[in-house]
Amino acid sequence: QVQLVESGGGLVQAGESLRLSCAASGSIFGLTAMGWYRQVPGKQREVVATITITGSTKYADSVKGRFTISRDTAKNTVYLQMNSPKPEDTAVYYCNARIAIGQAMGDYWGQGTQVTVSS
């Protein structure tokens, strides 16, 4: 079992910074990467940012230069620092952990945290 517990969502004004946290626990021995995804009603879930266990990061074009993903390996926690958020960043944000299980790769998700950016 893998547990991902997110925190830090809420209502902010445009331009006001926000930080999301996601703590992983349980059977995470084969952890390869963690990331943040977001979803708005009626649309598919989309990747926001990912970070591998070696520290390599990737960002969606829409958040490059504004959001930063980081990790604390000792705490098995990943963060998403959201600077200069815009109303279009409003979504439910989900933490993801990608874990190698034998020859397969499994995706695990947190419960989601709502981020609302007002104009």
Q: What percentage of the chain carries pLDDT values higher than 90?
A: 92
pLDDT score at 101: 87
Q: What percentage of the chain carries pLDDT values higher than 70?
A: 100
Residue range 69-98: mean pLDDT, rounded:
96
pLDDT score at 102: 87
Which residues have C-beta within 8 Å of that of residue 99, sequence separation ≥ 6? Answer: 2, 27, 28, 29, 30, 31, 32, 105, 106, 108
Residue type, position 99, single letter: I
Helix or strand run (H / E) with residue 46: strand 46-52
Model confidence at 66, pLDDT cuts 50, 70, 90, reads very high
Residue type, position 101, single letter: I
Rounded CA gap, 66 and 80, in Å? 10
Contact 93, 112 (CB under 8 A): yes
Which tens digit of pLDDT belongs to each residue from 97-119? 999 988 899 999 999 999 999 99
